[in-house]
Chain A
Amino acid sequence: MHERSLVQTLLNQVQQIVADDGGGVVKEIQVQVGDLSGVEPILFESAFTELATECFSQDCRLVLDIVPVKAECRLCGQCFEVQDYEFLCPACGTGPVEVIQGDQVKLMSITVDSENLVSGAKS
């Protein structure tokens, strides 16, 4: 269950990014999880629910976007969606393929409520 450590990494980054951006109350965190990221979305969500309420407000939402695996053939350049984890180029069938999407956990965006900002924060 390494989802906990990934969520902790995520939350640390969110805190840092929001602080650098002038602060505010975190309302929503959008995260992209690839099918080949090694992350189980349900475990990620439950770890988030547990850890985020410690860092942020009670109503901070996680929006998970699950993305399919895409790869590109290094021989013929064909881009394709990987089905059933078969990493074979459908065009030439021989080339080594490189994963171009779906093997990462990506922090996409953070929605912040700046209404209750304490005075002194940047506008």
Chain B
Amino acid sequence: MNTRVISVRRDIQAEQKADAAAERERLGRRGTLVINLLSSPGSGKTSLLEATARHWAGRRSMAVLVGDLETDRDAQRLAPLVPVAQLTTGGACHLELPLVQRGLQALGDPAVDFLFIENVGNLVCPASHDLAEHLRVVLISTTEGDDKPGKYPKMFRTSQAMVVTKQDLLPHVPFSIEAVTEDALKIQPALNVLTSCAIDNRGIQEWCEFLEQQYQKKIESVYEPAGNR
């Protein structure tokens, strides 16, 4: 038999990663910070975004791309507050960059300060897909196990921030913020840890301040204003 071996040695996602890097650069240069929000289902991504939109109303511009398996319920909740586009994956477990780009086009590619991508509820698959975000934030609610970081290491390793949500339920659930923080910091020592409660607005101001700091750090250094148009 006449066989030959072709040596390749290449990351199979190299092309997607390069596309994401180019899109990240484009959005950054025109002044948009992209935030990829990830969590298990029901951790409170939509509630956090509603609280964020209310906090910034009239002061900072934002838009949301909502990833969902089938329904548009989360998008309907956000629509009265901010520009929002629905990305339906048709049952797929994660979003990919072309879907995000289609969603941006659907919104008219607005030059907002903050673009949030609400990923589908899943801590495994979305970790492996770069959506051109400048910031990856993982949410964990107090109704989940505080040992989750160790179970989903890739997600926590690739995130820059963790928001513990539903802080108001702490007295009623076996969840320790110290334990989850310790577990997460072993995997990502540079992780920023925040806590929030969307019902009584606790932590929302700190969360928004954190995002503004990230904006200054990642966007203002590269931002090239379009000038007079």
Main secondary structure of the interface of B (DSSP, over half): mixed
Q: Taking the complex as formed, is A114 at the interface, i.e. its CB lies under 8 A from any CB of chain B? A: yes
Task: Name the interface size band of chain A.
Answer: 35 or more
Q: Taking the complex as formed, is A48 at the interface, i.e. its CB lies under 8 A from any CB of chain B? A: no
Knowing A1-B93, A36-B154, A85-B153, the reply to whether A106 touches B9 (Cβ < 8 A) is yes
Q: Taking the complex as formed, is B157 at the interface, i.e. its CB lies under 8 A from any CB of chain A? A: yes
- Asked if B13 contacts A85 (CB within 8 A), the reply is no
From B26-34, B103-111, B125-133, B216-224, the one touching the partner chain is B125-133
Residues of the A chain whose Cβ atoms lie less than 8 Å from the Cβ of B127: 38
Knowing A5-B96, A85-B150, A87-B157, the reply to whether A21 touches B6 (Cβ < 8 A) is yes
- Asked if B12 contacts A6 (CB within 8 A), the reply is yes
From B42-50, B163-171, B184-192, the one touching the partner chain is B184-192
Determine the distance from Cα of A5 to Cα of B94 in the docked complex, in whole angstroms. 10
- Asked if A38 contacts B154 (CB within 8 A), the reply is yes
Determine the distance from Cα of A78 to Cα of B153 in the docked complex, in whole angstroms. 22
Residues of the A chain whose Cβ atoms lie less than 8 Å from the Cβ of B13: 6, 9, 104-105
Residues of the A chain whose Cβ atoms lie less than 8 Å from the Cβ of B128: 2, 6, 37-39
Knowing A36-B153, A86-B186, A108-B9, the reply to whether A2 touches B93 (Cβ < 8 A) is yes
Which A residues from 10 to 60 make CB contacts under 8 A with B?
A: 10, 13, 17-18, 21, 24, 27, 31, 36-39
Q: Taking the complex as formed, is A107 at the interface, i.e. its CB lies under 8 A from any CB of chain B? A: yes
Determine the distance from Cα of A57 to Cα of B13 in the docked complex, in whole angstroms. 24
B96's closest neighbor in chain A, by CB? A5
- Return B224 CB to nearest CB of chain A, in Å: 30
- Asked if A110 contacts B6 (CB within 8 A), the reply is yes
- Asked if B8 contacts A107 (CB within 8 A), the reply is yes
Q: Taking the complex as formed, is A79 at the interface, i.e. its CB lies under 8 A from any CB of chain B? A: no
- Asked if B2 contacts A113 (CB within 8 A), the reply is yes
Q: Taking the complex as formed, is A77 at the interface, i.e. its CB lies under 8 A from any CB of chain B? A: no
Contact of B12 among A1, A87, A105, A109 (CB under 8 A): A105
Which B residues from 1 to 47 make CB contacts under 8 A with A?
A: 1-13, 16
Determine the distance from Cα of A85 to Cα of B10 in the docked complex, in whole angstroms. 24
23 contacts between A and B (CB under 8 A): A2-B125, A5-B96, A6-B12, A9-B12, A9-B13, A13-B12, A17-B8, A18-B6, A31-B12, A36-B153, A38-B127, A38-B154, A39-B128, A87-B186, A88-B186, A105-B12, A105-B13, A107-B9, A108-B9, A109-B8, A111-B3, A111-B4, A115-B1
